[in-house]
Amino acid sequence: MKIEAPITAVLEQFRSHPRFLITSHARPDGDAIGSVLATAEILEQMGRECVVVLADEIPLIYRTVPNIDRIRLTKDAREVEPDLATPAVLLECDGIPRTGLAGLEGRKLINIDHHASGRTFGAVNWIDENACAVAAMVYKLALAAGVKLTPSMATCLYTAIISDTGSFTYATTTADTFALAHDLAAHGADPSQIARDLYFSNPESKIRLLGTALSNLQTEGALAWSWVTTNDMDRAGAGAEDCEGVVNYLISIEGVESAVFLRELPSVDQYRLSIRSKGKVDVAQIAETFGGGGHRSASGCTLDGPLDVATEKVLQQLRTGLCSPCLVSLPK
Ligand SMILES: [Mn+2]
């Protein structure tokens, strides 16, 4: 196997330090969670120590991922790793702020990302926009390091890939994605059990909130949007993670090219936006305009309220985007 230069650079770092801190973005998703855990196993098989840190709570659907209890939740990395000489591995972050963690400044940073918004902020940077998940990069790292692909690693990586590809439906899903999934299943990932944990283990609150969100549905030509207020969330007994995936119902409508879901944030006049596109509009660019980030077909950002102002702001961008569809073609 020919090893790409950035992989060699990352492995060089892995070999030259005794201990690492591994983290990913705030509000972690399946890719973030699966990938930090698999990276920890790689490092440990290489004889390194590591501590896995995330800023926010693990969503319920990921609580059965192997070794999930080793993830330390804190807003300050120094609480779990005070020694600033310990390098930090940042998975799918476009900078330190994305982690939601204090205490990373001054450390050597190893940056591994697959987002269009990826930036070279680290001492070592490996950014592959075509990777279907950062987990696909972690998998390559495991092969290049020559470590054993354990059933727990395979399960973590498969969980990450199925969630980041929308169950193998997004544009980044290629023959390579299935080759990767095949290898992970061959090494102990159980596709049906993982699907059951991810898709058939929703809390009732999530489905009740979905009902509210869907009853707020608005459409205008190829645009669809919807929202929930903190009141709606309280009534459903729902938390932030119950809003995950609501936007996918909006983009699932025939003829809709772009969709937005807005969630009111508690105790500030702000809204968290999830934006989706079927390909005509580059929603990573739109999210970046508002200080957010993501992929061409899936992105997120935060906007100031009130609701109608935030909604109009993003719709305006999307209307413009639909009038002049992005010239960059999506990867097949
Ligand atoms: Mn990802």
Together in a domain, 187 and 209: no
User: Pick from 257, 291, 256, 255: which is nearest to 273 by CA?
Assistant: 291
Q: What are phi and psi of 279, to 5 degrees?
A: 135, -25
**CATH number for the domain that contains residue 303:** 3.10.310.30
Which range marks the domain in which residue 29 is found?
A: 5-199
The alpha carbon of 228 and the centre of ligand 1 are apart by a number of angstroms equal to 25
The alpha carbon of 24 and the centre of ligand 1 are apart by a number of angstroms equal to 10
Q: What is the pTM of this model?
A: 0.85
Together in a domain, 126 and 154: yes
The alpha carbon of 182 and the centre of ligand 1 are apart by a number of angstroms equal to 19
Together in a domain, 210 and 194: no
Together in a domain, 161 and 285: no
With H, G, I as helix, E, B as strand and everything else as coil, classify residue 303.
strand
The alpha carbon of 296 and the centre of ligand 1 are apart by a number of angstroms equal to 12
Helix 175-186 and helix 151-164, axial crossing angle in degrees, nearest 10? 150
The alpha carbon of 34 and the centre of ligand 1 are apart by a number of angstroms equal to 10
The alpha carbon of 157 and the centre of ligand 1 are apart by a number of angstroms equal to 11
Together in a domain, 245 and 211: yes
Q: How many independent structural domains does the chain possess? A: 2
Q: What are phi and psi of 294, to 5 degrees?
A: 145, -145
Together in a domain, 164 and 273: no
User: Pick from 40, 246, 239, 18: which is nearest to 141 by CA?
Assistant: 40
The alpha carbon of 91 and the centre of ligand 1 are apart by a number of angstroms equal to 9
Instruction: Report whether 56 contacts 27 (CB < 8 A).
Output: yes
Together in a domain, 134 and 210: no
The alpha carbon of 164 and the centre of ligand 1 are apart by a number of angstroms equal to 6
The alpha carbon of 231 and the centre of ligand 1 are apart by a number of angstroms equal to 31
The alpha carbon of 92 and the centre of ligand 1 are apart by a number of angstroms equal to 6
The alpha carbon of 136 and the centre of ligand 1 are apart by a number of angstroms equal to 9
Instruction: Report whether 108 contacts 10 (CB < 8 A).
Output: no
Q: What are phi and psi of 89, to 5 degrees?
A: -95, 120
The alpha carbon of 162 and the centre of ligand 1 are apart by a number of angstroms equal to 11
Sheet containing strand 258-264, strands side by side: 218-220, 223-228, 258-264, 270-277, 298-304, 293-294
Instruction: Report whether 286 contacts 275 (CB < 8 A).
Output: yes
Q: Tell me the C-alpha to C-alpha distance, in Å, between residue 158 and each of 25, 38, 174, 184, 267.
A: 19, 10, 15, 6, 37
Is 327 contained in some domain?
no
- Cα distance between residue 304 and residue 300, in whole Å: 14
Together in a domain, 208 and 115: no
The alpha carbon of 313 and the centre of ligand 1 are apart by a number of angstroms equal to 26
* Tens place of pLDDT per residue across the chain (332 aa): 678 999 999 999 999 999 999 999 999 999 999 999 999 999 999 999 999 999 999 998 999 999 999 999 999 999 999 999 999 999 999 999 999 999 999 999 999 999 877 899 999 999 999 999 999 999 999 999 999 999 999 999 999 999 999 899 888 899 999 999 999 999 999 999 999 999 998 999 999 999 999 999 999 999 999 999 999 999 999 999 899 899 999 999 999 999 999 999 999 999 999 999 998 999 999 999 999 998 888 999 999 999 999 999 999 999 999 987 655 444 43
